[in-house]
Structure 1
Amino acid sequence: MKSTASLISISIGLCIIFSCQNKSTIKKYDWIATENAPKEYPMRIYSGIFYAGKNPVNAVPSGSIINYGWGETGSIESSGEDLKEAPDTLRLTWISFTENKNYTGKFPLNVKLIDSLLSTGYPAEDLPSGHEEYFYFKVGMAPGGVVVLWLGGPGKQVEVGRYQGKETNDVDWKSEIPGYNGTMEEYGKHIIADLPKEVQQQIADHKIPYGKWDHWRRHFSWKPVITGDVKILSLSMFMFNKEMDFLMSKRLNPAGYIQRGAIEKLYIFWVDHKKRERRSQIDFDETETDQIFSALKPGTHSDLLLHVTNDYGPAVSLKTAAGIIPFKKAKINSYIR
């Protein structure tokens, strides 16, 4: 009996030791959650929670109208411990006002990808460490029950998942908005009344552009190539899929190609011949950019050519296997910083 009791005690002790070791080896990170939706298609979250296993680790902000812009930073929610595990599940329930529909879903996340990104971070040549970390979990909701998750930090944002919600009527909005006596449809009509007339017409004609947000999630193999007679300081690139990247120093003219979304906007910071720091902003036309990138053949590489001169500032075109295509409708403005 004594030997049996001793074995049980040893087993319990080993379990406690290994349990402590497993907990101590779980990586934890400093991150917070935020939410967004397209400006023209507002949403409101009923409930949203990130989980690591069965444990809730951070809530998604709720209680306000969401129309900050697709892929943007909205409200901030930091709950639970200061350092948290990489989540493996997102539970989300929300309303899409322009559709007058509630959506819900339990979405399994790519925890290996997320953990890898949180662990490694990304290059930041303007910092002494040369390194920056992801900080934001951005939850985006678009019409049709579309949910996209990005990881973001200063000068960097990458998509880590796309999910599909399903319609539900099992939502008690009265408990969430106790001071409102009307229906959610009436509540939504007040919000829709403030939207642009063309969006109101889309709603009336049942022509909300479903699929638009998935269309812009496509990736293409391209890199920026900067030439000219000025000194380039940095380049900030924003893609239509709402990923972004900030390049400077050695990364300004990358050697290799990267799978990116189609370019939406960029900023070039440069120094002219009078040693004045200049900033040039290029806003790309959505229709023209879609036509140019959609014509690219799968498996091919392209160069986004940025030629910057003292006299004329930047010019932009895309070098493809078929030739060089200028962005004729892109709006280019340069300023002295």
Structure 2
Amino acid sequence: MKKIIISTLLTLLFWACKEKTKFSYSVTVSAPKDYPVEVHEGWLMDDQKKFICAMPKAGVANTGWLYDGKQAGQGGSKIPYHLNLTYVAYAEKKFYTVDADLPVDKILEEFNKGFDVEGDQKVEGKYPLVHDTYDTFTVGAAPGGVVVIWLSGNHNRVEICRLQAKEVFVDVNDFYQNADEENQQQFFDSWFKIAVPEKAQEEIREKGIPFGLWDNYRERFKYRFVLQPYDEKDVILTNDIRYYNGEQRFYLRPNELAKGEYELASIPYSIEPMFTKYHTDVLFDDQEMLSVFKKLQSKHPNKPMDIIIIPTFMYTDFKLSVKCEDEIIPLTKYKVKGVWGG
């Protein structure tokens, strides 16, 4: 009898652990806004090298580096172990392919870690925090064959890995029905004009494609946001932060923010902090943030930095600067999109 009980418990434990390795997700493909791509073919495979799903063929992908692509009914529940993807990069006039194993432990760790979100049901007049996890697996393709994988869901997005695609030849007749009977170069030239925004076309002709930019976005710095209110009573209650490397985190717990802990993260793209009475939306300039952060780090190696937020009287505007030890550099290229509340 004892052996039966032990066997039953082990079986239940096995299935409990097994359940934690299955997470339902959709699959999307994205690209920087001015550098669109389109899927030719691809798929995800599991640990047995069995097909999970195809990569979504949802037309031109240009939703932006910080956002997921269009959903086209592709997804799975098994942890993906391998990615194969071939796509056309219209701004570069090239096809790329990536065929690589994925960091399974990292994917599983992030799925299990998840994040907190506001629940749907009120309790004593408030929406309590509930635990949730990611529901989207996104493959981002940037110039130079840079491929980045993220998991995302409900104001949270985490980078899984960075892969390198290689240029490959794909006959245009295999890619799409070539009604106009274009050759390879004619196909690339015509779709460069169709898919790439005119302003981006001009910049590419004048300055070329900024290869390496998306890897620069992936550099991490140790910093935090610090509010310096004029009445010394206000605090940051929540903060929705997007980063230039495509990640996002929604800090919902005031006690978590009150700790003032430093995070190792990419440069910020935007913040939406909520204070006691007001909230705002601030956009950062990528080149300014990279320049300021790198300048301070070169003069103060390995020292953490503070992004200081100073509201003007009655919160009509905000002044921002970056501080490292005793040095402060004012920021000038950020944009305050608005201030609400009061």
1:99 aligns with 2:92: yes
Name segments (4+ residues, structure 1) moved above 6 Å.
21-24
SS in 2 for 1:29: strand
In structure 1, the partner of 2:239 is 235
More off after superposition, 175-184 vs 238-247: 175-184
Structure 2 counterparts to residues 57-96 of structure 1, below 5 A: 57-79=52-74, 84-96=77-89
Shift of the alpha carbon at 1:301?
Answer: 0.8
Q: Tell me if the contact between 2:267 and 2:289 (Cα under 8 Å) persists in the aligned partners.
A: yes
Shift of the alpha carbon at 1:112?
Answer: 0.2
Shift of the alpha carbon at 1:71?
Answer: 3.0
Question: Residues 175 and 63 (structure 1 numbering): CA distance in 2 closer, same or farther, change over 3 Å?
Answer: farther
In structure 2, the partner of 1:207 is 208
Instruction: Letter of the 2:57 partner, please give it.
Output: S
Shift of the alpha carbon at 1:314?
Answer: 2.9
For normalisation by structure 2, the TM-score amounts to: 0.81
Shift of the alpha carbon at 1:60?
Answer: 2.1
Q: 1:124, 1:80 → 2: CA distance?
A: 23
Q: 1:325, 1:123 → 2: CA distance?
A: 34
In structure 2, the partner of 1:222 is 223
Q: How big is the alpha-carbon RMSD for the aligned residues of Structure 1 and Structure 2?
A: 2.7
In structure 1, the partner of 2:287 is 287
Question: Residues 254 and 136 (structure 1 numbering): CA distance in 2 closer, same or farther, change over 3 Å?
Answer: farther
Shift of the alpha carbon at 1:159?
Answer: 0.9
1:154 aligns with 2:158: no
Q: 1:98, 1:325 → 2: CA distance?
A: 36
Instruction: Letter of the 1:103 partner, please give it.
Output: Y
For normalisation by structure 1, the TM-score amounts to: 0.82
Larger Rg: 1
SS in 1 for 2:22: coil
CA offsets, 1:291-316, max 9 Å, x none?
10112324221122223352444332
Instruction: Letter of the 1:302 partner, please give it.
Output: M
More off after superposition, 255-264 vs 291-300: 291-300
CA offsets, 1:134-154, max 9 Å, x none?
111111101111101111111
Structure 2 counterparts to residues 13-162 of structure 1, below 5 A: 25=18, 27-53=21-47, 54-79=49-74, 84-124=77-117, 128-162=128-162
Instruction: Letter of the 2:29 partner, please give it.
Output: E
Shift of the alpha carbon at 1:225?
Answer: 1.9
In structure 1, the partner of 2:306 is 303
Q: 2:135, 2:259 → 1: CA distance?
A: 25
In structure 2, the partner of 1:7 is none
Q: 2:321, 2:275 → 1: CA distance?
A: 19
SS in 2 for 1:31: strand
Q: 2:323, 2:75 → 1: CA distance?
A: 49
In structure 1, the partner of 2:255 is 250
Structure 1 gaps of 5+ residues are 1-17, 273-277
Q: 1:31, 1:176 → 2: CA distance?
A: 27
Q: Tell me if the contact between 1:59 and 1:78 (Cα under 8 Å) persists in the aligned partners.
A: no
Structure 2 counterparts to residues 317-332 of structure 1, below 5 A: 317-332=321-336
SS in 1 for 2:28: strand
In structure 2, the partner of 1:269 is 274
Shift of the alpha carbon at 1:173?
Answer: 4.0
Q: 2:16, 2:97 → 1: CA distance?
A: 32
Instruction: Letter of the 1:293 partner, please give it.
Output: F
Question: Residues 251 and 241 (structure 1 numbering): CA distance in 2 closer, same or farther, change over 3 Å?
Answer: same
Instruction: Letter of the 1:144 partner, please give it.
Output: G
Q: 1:282, 1:311 → 2: CA distance?
A: 13
Question: Residues 24 and 56 (structure 1 numbering): CA distance in 2 closer, same or farther, change over 3 Å?
Answer: farther
Report the number of matched residues.
Answer: 311
Q: 2:54, 2:220 → 1: CA distance?
A: 30
In structure 2, the partner of 1:315 is 319
Question: Residues 232 and 221 (structure 1 numbering): CA distance in 2 closer, same or farther, change over 3 Å?
Answer: closer
Instruction: Letter of the 1:142 partner, please give it.
Output: A
Shift of the alpha carbon at 1:260?
Answer: 0.3
Q: 1:322, 1:164 → 2: CA distance?
A: 40
Q: 1:312, 1:129 → 2: CA distance?
A: 31
Q: 1:226, 1:245 → 2: CA distance?
A: 18
Q: Percent identity?
A: 28
Q: Tell me if the contact between 2:55 and 2:74 (Cα under 8 Å) persists in the aligned partners.
A: no
Q: 1:107, 1:61 → 2: CA distance?
A: 18
In structure 2, the partner of 1:4 is none
